[in-house]
Amino acid sequence: MRLLYQLNAAFTALIIVVMSITAFFIYSLLMDTLILDEQRQLKQRAGWLVDITNEQDPNVRIPQLSKLIQDRNFPLLIFDRNEEEVLFRTLPKSTAQSWVERYDSELVDKEVWESQGESYVVYALPIAPGNNRVLVMATPLDDLQAVQSLFAVRMVGVFFIGLMLAIIVSYFLTKRLVTPLTRLKQEVEKIEKRQFDQVQTVKSSGEIKEVERSVRQMAYELERYITSQKQFFQNASHELKTPLMSIQGYAEGIRDGVFERDAADKGLTVIVSETERLKKIVNEMILLAKLDSNEDVYHPEETNVVELISQAKDRLVPLAKGKDIELHFEQSESFYTYIDRERILQALINMVGNAIRHANHQVTLHSFVKNDTLKFLVTDDGEGIPDELLPQLFERFIKGKGGETGLGLAISRAIVQRSGGTIRAYNNEGKQGATFEITLTKRMANKDT
């Protein structure tokens, strides 16, 4: 069953249950309400009768009493409770006599009196000194039950109309709710078929809108991931193919005697060099794959990151001197966190080494700590990063001018992200060069993901 019909069925069942329970309680309470209201009216009538009977002038009292009783068709009874004698009645004789005899023993505190299969709502009022005489006002219960039945019929009609309206409203509301889900399902199917360029925005609100945004973001990330994977395999095949071709060419030349003596020695040197380069590329690819997976290659321990920056700078001093680059380090206070010491050192060396290769005269290292966050900046005074290269600078096999394997910055990003930090690069405003920025936050012990 489609979700639209399931929701409609659920709403309809809920409405029926709620309205049925409501109708039951209303119907049950209605008779009590009618009895209380009728007793109030009987009390008022009894007050009128008492006022008339207290009239001193018989010429006024008797005509008013007769007219009031005839006009209003009052079922009433006046009796002497001591003598058990009926003084006046408009009720059947048998009913009146039965009530007189049972009054003190059975009926005095009851709201509904019965006699010969008929029930009456009554109001009894003593009207003489000593409470000897009692005025009883009565209304047949059948009259109230007729009102109750009429109300019940009308209530059923009103509830039926309300149920129909509620079902119609729930249908449109449910359709409005389900339609975005149906559209969202269609967009997910496009993602399943890798039709990322055809994914469209779905008009919705609330949580569905949040899900829709997540789906579109997922589509974007999947497209980017698939594109990067394709690019990775293309670049990887190219990077591996080049040294393999050199190795194969020189090996075949030496085997076939094309290269002899010095040329053969040079060929062997090239083979060894290209083999080392090939080994480096493969090792870096394996490391990247392990960093991206859950393999146990990351071993965090409490480490002073500022000390690691100083070590990275010391290791790269010979490289900087060889290129006549000044290397400055503006050191901040210590910053301890749980990270993999060797991996972070590798990422720092990659970043600083990259800056030295692209600098003209100077590279500045700057670290500063604020609250539980450390920022480390590597700034060079080179030509900067080309605009077309900047968005994909940390992708695999993306090499700038003077790059080696194109994996160094990708490894640095993977290490920093594994350490719970972020890494980014941007060109300096108003001056030459670029800046690489690493942000790390303090981590708890044994947190390695």
Asked if residue 153 is part of any domain, the answer here is no
Q: Say how far residue 127 (Cα) sits from the centre of its chain.
A: 72
- DSSP sequence for 7-40: HHHHHHHHHHHHHHHHHHHHHHHHHHHHHHHHHH
Asked if residue 447 is part of any domain, the answer here is no
Q: Check which CATH number belongs to the domain holding 265 and give it.
A: 1.10.287.130
How many whole angstroms separate alpha carbon 346 and alpha carbon 408?
9
CA end-to-end distance (rounded Å), the chain: 43
Query: End of a domain among 105, 126, 148?
Result: 148
CB 137 within 8 A of CB 120: no
Number of domains composing the chain: 3
Same domain, 107 and 46: yes
Closest-CA residue to 302 (of 445, 416, 440): 445
Same domain, 288 and 305: no
DSSP 428: P
- For 100: left if phi > 0, alpha if psi spans -120 to 50, otherwise beta; the answer is alpha
Q: Out of 128-132, 402-406, 437-441, which region has the weakest mean confidence (pLDDT)? A: 402-406
- Give the pLDDT confidence of 202-244 residue by residue, as tens digits: 777 777 778 888 888 888 888 877 776 776 676 677 667 778 8
Q: Check which CATH number belongs to the domain holding 20 and give it.
A: 3.30.450
Same domain, 7 and 144: yes
Query: End of a domain among 292, 314, 334?
Result: 292
Asked if residue 393 is part of any domain, the answer here is yes
- Give the pLDDT confidence of 336-369 residue by residue, as tens digits: 998 988 889 988 988 898 889 889 899 999 988 8
- Give the pLDDT confidence of 388-418 residue by residue, as tens digits: 888 878 777 666 665 566 677 888 888 888 8
Same domain, 252 and 321: no
Retrieve residue 309's tokens. 């920056």
Asked if residue 284 is part of any domain, the answer here is yes
Question: Quick check: 1 pLDDT over 60?
Answer: no
Same domain, 311 and 437: yes
Burial environment of residue 329 by CB neighbours within 10 A (0 to 12, 13 to 18, 19 or more): middle
Please report which confidence band the pLDDT of residue 26 belongs to, taking 50, 70 and 90 as the band edges: confident
Q: Check which CATH number belongs to the domain holding 383 and give it.
A: 3.30.565.10
Same domain, 310 and 434: yes
- Give the pLDDT confidence of 80-111 residue by residue, as tens digits: 877 778 887 778 888 888 888 888 888 888 88
Query: End of a domain among 99, 118, 148?
Result: 148
Same domain, 307 and 288: no
pLDDT for res 72 = 47
Retrieve residue 74's tokens. 């009052």
* Residue 88, domain extent: 3-148
Same domain, 108 and 217: no
Asked if residue 30 is part of any domain, the answer here is yes
Please report which confidence band the pLDDT of residue 194 belongs to, taking 50, 70 and 90 as the band edges: confident
Question: Quick check: 420 pLDDT over 80?
Answer: yes
CB 50 within 8 A of CB 168: no
Asked if residue 166 is part of any domain, the answer here is no
Please report which confidence band the pLDDT of residue 448 belongs to, taking 50, 70 and 90 as the band edges: very low
- Within 10 angstroms of residue 449's Cβ, the number of other Cβ atoms is 8
Same domain, 332 and 397: yes
Write the CA distances from 435 to 331, 352, 421, 425, integer angstroms: 17, 10, 17, 6
- Give the pLDDT confidence of 245-295 residue by residue, as tens digits: 888 888 888 888 888 888 888 888 888 888 888 887 787 777 777 776 666
CB 184 within 8 A of CB 212: yes
Asked if residue 160 is part of any domain, the answer here is no
Same domain, 280 and 229: yes
Asked if residue 395 is part of any domain, the answer here is yes
Same domain, 122 and 211: no
Same domain, 258 and 323: no
> Which pTM value belongs to this model?
0.50
Helix (H/G/I), strand (E/B), else coil: 133:
strand
| Backbone phi and psi for residue 345, each to the nearest 5 degrees, phi listed first | -60, -40
